[in-house]
C-alpha cells in the first residue's frame, strides 16, 4: 500500500509539471490574463487558469491509479461518497473559477456556483457534519439535519473563499494549502484513514508540481480556478480526515485552515471598523502588512508558510489531545493561539496600525516595574 501512495504522489507531481506549461499556453490563447492594478502586488501581465493544471493532475493521477487500488480502499459507502463528492463538487468549483479567470464573473454568480457545489456534496452524496466533538464536553454531539445541512454548506463555502482571499503573492495560496493538506495527511496517517491519505497525497503532489511554476517569480497564477478548488478540497478533507467520515472535532479544522481563516476574520473586523463593505477589496491582508514591514516577496511568503506550519502542528496536537480526552491541552493550545494572534495582529497592524492594546498594556507593566525597581535602588 505504501508503494501505491508513493507512486500516486510522484504521478500527480509529474502530471502537474507536464500539464501546467500547456495550461499556460491555453490561458494566453483564450485571454485569461491577470492585469496589474493598484491593489495587486505583481507588475506584469500574467496568465491565469493555473488551477486547471492542479485539478487535472489530481484527477488524472486518481484515474490512472484506480485499477491498482486495493479492494478495501474504497470499501465503505462513506469513503466512496467522499471521493465522488470531491470530484463532482470540485468540477463545479473549477468550472466557476475558470470562467471567472477568463470573464471575471460577479461575486454573486461565483457565490451561487459555490453554494450549488456545496449542495451537490450535501444532497447528492449525503456528506454532512453529523457529529461534532465539543472540546470541553463529553463525547460527540449529534446534530439534527436542520443544523448539520446548513452548517456543512456554510463551512464548504466559507473555506473555499478563505483560500481565495490569501491568493495575493506568488506561491502563497498553493503553499499554504499544501501545508494544510500535509497536516490532514499526518492526521489521516495517525487515524488510519487510507482514503484520505491517498487523496491528500495526490493533491499534495499536484500542488508541489504547480509550485515549480508559481513560486516567486511566478510564470503563471493559479487564478480562482485553483484557489477555489484548493479551498473546496480543504473544506472537504478537513471535515472528513478523521476516524469516521462524519465525525469532526470542533476546533481541529479551524486550526488546519488557521492562516486563511484568521486573515479573513481580521479583514472583516478591519473593514467593519473602517465602515467599509465586508467584501470590499483592500491592501490590508497579512501579506500586504508583512510587505509594508520591509520583507521581500519571498521572505513574506516563507514567513506565512511558517505560520501555517505552526497552525498545522497545533491542529495535530489538539486532535491527539481530543482523542485522549486531554481537555487541558486543548485549553492551553487555544489560549496560546489567541494570544499569539492578537500580538501578531497588533505588531503588523492588520486591523488597526495605531491601536495596540495588548502591547501597550505590557509596555506599561514593564515600565512600571522598571520604575519601582529604580525607586527601590
Domain housing 345: 2-376
- 199-224 burial, b for 16+ CB within 10 Å, e for fewer? bbbbbbbbbbbbbebbbbebebbbbb
The rounded mean pLDDT for the chain is: 83
Between CA 228 and CA 226 the distance in angstroms is 6
Between CA 331 and CA 353 the distance in angstroms is 30
107 pLDDT exceeds 80?
yes
- My answer on whether omega of the bond before 203 falls inside 30° of 0, hence cis, is no
pTM: 0.85
Q: What percent of the chain has pLDDT over 90?
A: 40
Contact 348, 286 (CB under 8 A): yes
Q: What is the pLDDT of residue 40?
A: 57
164 belongs to an annotated ligand binding site: yes
Number of domains in the chain: 1
C-alpha cell at 225: 480556478
Between CA 359 and CA 376 the distance in angstroms is 26
Q: What is the pLDDT of residue 264?
A: 79
Strand partners, 131: 142, 247
Q: What is the pLDDT of residue 243?
A: 39
pLDDT tens figures, 331-347: 787 788 888 888 888 88
Residue scoring higher pLDDT (233 or 71): 233
When computed from its CA atoms, the radius of gyration of the chain, rounded to whole angstroms, is 21
34 belongs to an annotated ligand binding site: no
Q: What is the pLDDT of residue 247?
A: 36
Q: What is the pLDDT of residue 215?
A: 92
Between CA 210 and CA 227 the distance in angstroms is 12
pLDDT tens figures, 53-97: 999 999 999 999 988 887 667 656 677 888 899 999 999 999 999
Between CA 31 and CA 16 the distance in angstroms is 21
244 pLDDT exceeds 90?
no
Q: Hey, is 170 helix, strand or coil?
A: coil
Give the residue among 360, 334, 183 at the shortest CA–CA distance from 251: 334
pLDDT tens figures, 176-220: 999 999 998 988 888 888 888 999 999 999 999 999 999 988 999
Amino acid at each position: 500500500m505504501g508503494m501505491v501512495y508513493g507512486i500516486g504522489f510522484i504521478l500527480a507531481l509529474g502530471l502537474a509539471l507536464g500539464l501546467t506549461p500547456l495550461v499556460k499556453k491555453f490561458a494566453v490563447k483564450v485571454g485569461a490574463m491577470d492585469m496589474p492594478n493598484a491593489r495587486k502586488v505583481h507588475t506584469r501581465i500574467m496568465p491565469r487558469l493555473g488551477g486547471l493544471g492542479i485539478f487535472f493532475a489530481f484527477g488524472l493521477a486518481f484515474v490512472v491509479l484506480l485499477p491498482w487500488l486495493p479492494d478495501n480502499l474504497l470499501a465503505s459507502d462513506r469513503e466512496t461518497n467522499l471521493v465522488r463528492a470531491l470530484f463532482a463538487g470540485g468540477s463545479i468549483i473549477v468550472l466557476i473559477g475558470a470562467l471567472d479567470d477568463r470573464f471575471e464573473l460577479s461575486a454573486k454568480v461565483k457565490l451561487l456556483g459555490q453554494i450549488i457545489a456545496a449542495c451537490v456534496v450535501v444532497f447528492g452524496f449525503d456528506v454532512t457534519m453529523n457529529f461534532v466533538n465539543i472540546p470541553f464536553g463529553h463525547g460527540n454531539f449529534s446534530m439534527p439535519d436542520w443544523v448539520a445541512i446548513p452548517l456543512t454548506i456554510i463551512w464548504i463555502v466559507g473555506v473555499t473563499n478563505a483560500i481565495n482571499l490569501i491568493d495575493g503573492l506568488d506561491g502563497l495560496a498553493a503553499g499554504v494549502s499544501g501545508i494544510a493538506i500535509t497536516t490532514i495527511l499526518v492526521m489521516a496517517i495517525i487515524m488510519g484513514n487510507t482514503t484520505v491519505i491517498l487523496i491528500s497525497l495526490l493533491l499534495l503532489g499536484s500542488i508541489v508540481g504547480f509550485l515549480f511554476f508559481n513560486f516567486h517569480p511566478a510564470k503563471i497564477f493559479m487564478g480562482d480556478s485553483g484557489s477555489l478548488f484548493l479551498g473546496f478540497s480543504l473544506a472537504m478533507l478537513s471535515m472528513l480526515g478523521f476516524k469516521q467520515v462524519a465525525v469532526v472535532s470542533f476546533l481541529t479544522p479551524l486550526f488546519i485552515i488557521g492562516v486563511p481563516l484568521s486573515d479573513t476574520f481580521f479583514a472583516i473586523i478591519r473593514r467593519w471598523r473602517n465602515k467599509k463593505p465586508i467584501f470590499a477589496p483592500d491592501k490590508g491582508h497579512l501579506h500586504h502588512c508583512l510587505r509594508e514591514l520591509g520583507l521581500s516577496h519571498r521572505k513574506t511568503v516563507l514567513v506565512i508558510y511558517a505560520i501555517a506550519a505552526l497552525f498545522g502542528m497545533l491542529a495535530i496536537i489538539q486532535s491527539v489531545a481530543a482523542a485522549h480526552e486531554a481537555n487541558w491541552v486543548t485549553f492551553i493550545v487555544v489560549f496560546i493561539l489567541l494570544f499569539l494572534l492578537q500580538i501578531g495582529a497588533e505588531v503588523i497592524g492588520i486591523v488597526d496600525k495605531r491601536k495596540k492594546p495588548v502591547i501597550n498594556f505590557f509596555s506599561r507593566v514593564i515600565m512600571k516595574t522598571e520604575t519601582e525597581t529604580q525607586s527601590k535602588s
